């Protein structure tokens, strides 16, 4: 079956309707929660000048870029993430919007990575950002939104945890331990990778900075009380919303990208079996960097990909049951069936009338035996079949689940089917 010429490129995915349904389910959940939080949708170009990513992101992105020259010799890249585009767009039009901006986006990103479970070359991200508010009220609102996206998909505090950290704590730690200023980003990089690096290796790097892995691990395991006033403030806010159980302070989280400042966070499954489901944090200086200091706008945001969350849904019985129930196909409300070929015109007119009123209608496109038409109605999940035959304008309306049938006049069929859509 798997003809290689019919496959997508490695790391890319086809979404035939059965696969698209899950994608649509995630999109619906993200949009629904974002709108409840008063966020508005935006979108960026799929392709941007490569410079936009080289300049500010730092970290791993540049090596993973889908980067190429266009026919006009421009150095361009498929977007690996949305924050750089967001910064660019907000900088060009922020005067048209009331602050704080609460913007969300859903779209494809691209990274040239080795394809594996949860890592794809094209994946979909949900991005949510609050711009123009420096206080922790914005961090808390964003965290609440992230938590509610998980709750909307059927996850509880037994299934996931938001690990919140504070980069300022580490910057203060570096200052107190005399880490030289130019080495601070390296220091943050070592902390970021502690969980996935051999202990000796991390320790060696930390000793070069005059530190030790043991003392860092101790600091993470038992952070001094009140070490992050920002976290305390966000926690109190989330507790007032009834969402306090979903977060914990975890200084082991740093986030790879260099542009983060202040509070950062990552969402993990409670078993910590998968990669981060979502991650984000403050990036108060990005817009200033992009505009060479002419616009100063504090910001905080996060992104959630579609691949890891899809894996997590499969491992969580309540989330999986909710998803399976939502994915039952209902392609149409009524499937018209033709028992007398000479009534095709009447059937087409009925289809138009119903569709104009918003009813989802399927109909036979060629002369097909009645039995086959009714099997089609069943397979596509139609709620009703309406059989148009020689007795027209009397029509047989059949409810597909109960198999109940009644004979109705054309105008009664219309009255029966249309109100359900209004």
Looking at 245-359, list the stretches that DSSP marks H as alpha helix, in order from N- to C-terminal side: 286-290, 306-315, 317-326, 344-356
- Cβ-based nearer residue to a copy of itself, 86 or 309: 86
Q: What's the min distance (Å) between Cβ of 59 and a copy of itself? A: 18
Cβ atoms 333, 418 nearer than 8 A: no
CA–CA distance, 227 with 251 (Å, rounded to integer): 10
Name residues whose C-beta falls within 8 Å of residue 339's C-beta, 6 or more positions apart in sequence: 370, 387, 388, 389, 390
Q: What's the min distance (Å) between Cβ of 107 and a copy of itself? A: 9
Q: What's the min distance (Å) between Cβ of 125 and a copy of itself? A: 13
Q: What's the min distance (Å) between Cβ of 406 and a copy of itself? A: 23
- Cβ-based nearer residue to a copy of itself, 204 or 330: 330
Q: What's the min distance (Å) between Cβ of 223 and a copy of itself? A: 25
- Secondary structure class of 277 (helix, strand, coil): coil
Q: What's the min distance (Å) between Cβ of 278 and a copy of itself? A: 18
Q: Are strands 75-78 and 47-49 parallel, antiparallel or unpaired?
A: antiparallel
Nearest CA-CA partner of 33 in 155, 134, 118, 161: 155
- Cβ-based nearer residue to a copy of itself, 85 or 261: 85
Dihedral, CA of residue 166, residue 171, residue 176 and residue 179, to nearest 10: 140
- Cβ-based nearer residue to a copy of itself, 272 or 369: 369
- Cβ-based nearer residue to a copy of itself, 243 or 297: 243
Q: What's the min distance (Å) between Cβ of 161 and a copy of itself? A: 19
Nearest CA-CA partner of 114 in 60, 42, 47: 60
Tokens representing 374?
Answer: 């009714």
Q: What's the min distance (Å) between Cβ of 242 and a copy of itself? A: 6
- Cβ-based nearer residue to a copy of itself, 121 or 323: 121
- Enter the DSSP assignment of 294: S
Nearest CA-CA partner of 421 in 361, 346, 344, 348: 361
- Cβ-based nearer residue to a copy of itself, 179 or 397: 397
- Cβ-based nearer residue to a copy of itself, 165 or 300: 300
CA–CA distance, 103 with 35 (Å, rounded to integer): 10
What number of other Cβ atoms are within 10 A of residue 323's Cβ? 20
**Cα 287 from chain centroid?**
23
């Amino acid at each position: 079956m798997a003809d290689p010429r019919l496959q997508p490129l490695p790391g890319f995915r086809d979404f035939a309707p059965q696969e698209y349904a899950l994608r649509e389910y995630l999109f619906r959940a993200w949009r629904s929660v974002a709108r409840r939080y008063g966020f508005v949708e935006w979108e960026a170009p799929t392709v941007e000048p490569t410079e936009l990513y080289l300049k500010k992101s730092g970290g791993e992105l540049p090596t993973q870029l889908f980067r190429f020259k266009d026919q006009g010799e421009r150095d361009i890249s498929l977007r690996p993430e949305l924050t750089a585009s967001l910064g660019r767009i907000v900088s060009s039009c922020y005067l048209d919007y009331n602050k704080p901006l609460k913007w969300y986006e859903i779209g494809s990103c691209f990274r040239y990575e080795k394809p594996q479970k949860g890592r794809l070359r094209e994946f979909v991200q949900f991005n949510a950002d609050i711009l123009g508010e420096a206080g922790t009220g914005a961090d808390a609102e964003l965290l609440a939104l992230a938590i509610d996206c998980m709750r909307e998909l059927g996850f509880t505090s037994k299934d996931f945890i938001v690990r919140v950290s504070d980069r300022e704590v580490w910057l203060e730690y570096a200052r107190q331990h005399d880490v030289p200023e130019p080495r601070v980003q390296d220091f943050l990089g070592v902390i970021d990778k502690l969980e996935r690096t051999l202990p000796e290796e991390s320790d060696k790097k930390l000793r070069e900075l005059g530190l030790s892995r043991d003392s860092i691990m101790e600091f993470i395991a038992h952070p001094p009380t009140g070490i992050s006033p920002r976290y305390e403030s966000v926690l109190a806010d989330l507790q007032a919303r009834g969402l306090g159980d979903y977060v914990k302070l975890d200084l082991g989280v740093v986030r790879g990208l260099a542009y983060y400042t202040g509070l950062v966070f990552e969402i993990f499954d409670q078993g910590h079996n998968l990669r981060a489901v979502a991650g984000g944090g403050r990036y108060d200086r990005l817009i200033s960097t992009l505009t060479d200091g002419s616009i100063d706008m504090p910001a905080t945001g996060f992104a959630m990909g579609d691949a890891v969350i899809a894996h997590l849904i499969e491992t969580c019985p309540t989330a999986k049951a909710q998803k399976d129930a939502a994915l039952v196909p209902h392609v149409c409300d009524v499937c018209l069936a033709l028992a007398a070929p000479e009534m095709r015109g009447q059937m087409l007119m009925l289809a138009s009338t119903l569709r104009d009123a918003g009813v989802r209608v399927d109909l036979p496109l060629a002369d097909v035996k009645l039995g086959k038409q009714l099997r089609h109605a069943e397979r596509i999940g139609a709620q009703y079949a309406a059989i148009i035959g020689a007795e027209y304008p009397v029509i047989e309306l059949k409810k597909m689940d109960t198999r109940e049938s009644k004979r109705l006049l054309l105008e009664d069929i219309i009255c029966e089917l249309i109100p359900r859509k209004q």
